[in-house]
A and B are shown apart, each in its own frame.
Chain A
Amino acid sequence: MRQARPYSAMFAGGVSARTGPHALPLARIKKIMKRSAGESSGVDGGGARMISGEAPVVFSKACELFIAELTRRAWAATLEGKRRTVHKEDVAAAVQNTDLFDFLVDVVMADDHDAMD
Chain B
Amino acid sequence: MEAGYPGAANGAAADGNNGGTQAAAAPAIREQDRLMPIANVIRIMRRVLPAHAKISDDAKETIQECVSEYISFITGEANERCQREQRKTITAEDVLWAMSRLGFDDYVEPLSVYLHRYREFEGESRGVGVGVGVGAARGDHHHHHHHHVHAAGMSPMLKPRAQGSMATHHDMQMHAAMYGGAVPPPPQPPPHHHAFLMPPHHSQYAPYDMYGGEHGMAAYYGGMYAPGTGGNGGDGSGSSGSGGAGTPQTVNFDHQHPFGYK
Contact = CB atoms under 8 A, between A and B. Distances in A.
A61 to B, nearest CB: 4
Contacts of A46: 79, 83
A36 interface: yes
Contacts of B225: 16-18
Interface string B9-49: 11100101000101001000100011111011101110111
B57 to A, nearest CB: 5
A20 B76 contact: no
A40 B2 CA distance: 9
A97 interface: no
Contacts of A51: 89-90, 151
Interface string A59-80: 1011111111011101100100
Interface residues of A, number: 85
Interface in A25-81: 25-37, 39-41, 46, 49-59, 61-68, 70-72, 74-75, 78
Contacts of A104: 66, 69-70
Interface in B88-131: 88-92, 94-96, 99, 102-104, 107, 110-111, 114-115, 118-119, 121
Contacts of B37: 24-25, 28
**A23, A71, A95 — most chain B CB neighbours (10 Å):** A71
Contacts, number: 315
Nearest to B225: A18
B89 A50 contact: yes
A74 B53 CA distance: 12
Nearest to A44: B83
B55 A86 contact: yes
Contact of A23 (B44, B103, B214, B222): B44
B151 A57 contact: no
B228 interface: yes
A34 to B, nearest CB: 8
Given A6-B256, A9-B260, A63-B70, A52 B230 contact: no
Interface of B: 1-4, 7, 9-11, 14, 16, 20, 22, 25, 29, 33-37, 39-41, 43-45, 47-49, 52-59, 61-63, 65-76, 78-80, 82-83, 88-92, 94-96, 99, 102-104, 107, 110-111, 114-115, 118-119, 121, 150-152, 167-168, 208-212, 214, 216-218, 220-222, 224-232, 246-248, 252-253, 255-257, 259-262
13 contacts: A20-B252, A28-B35, A29-B71, A31-B33, A40-B76, A49-B79, A50-B89, A62-B74, A71-B44, A78-B53, A85-B54, A99-B103, A111-B61
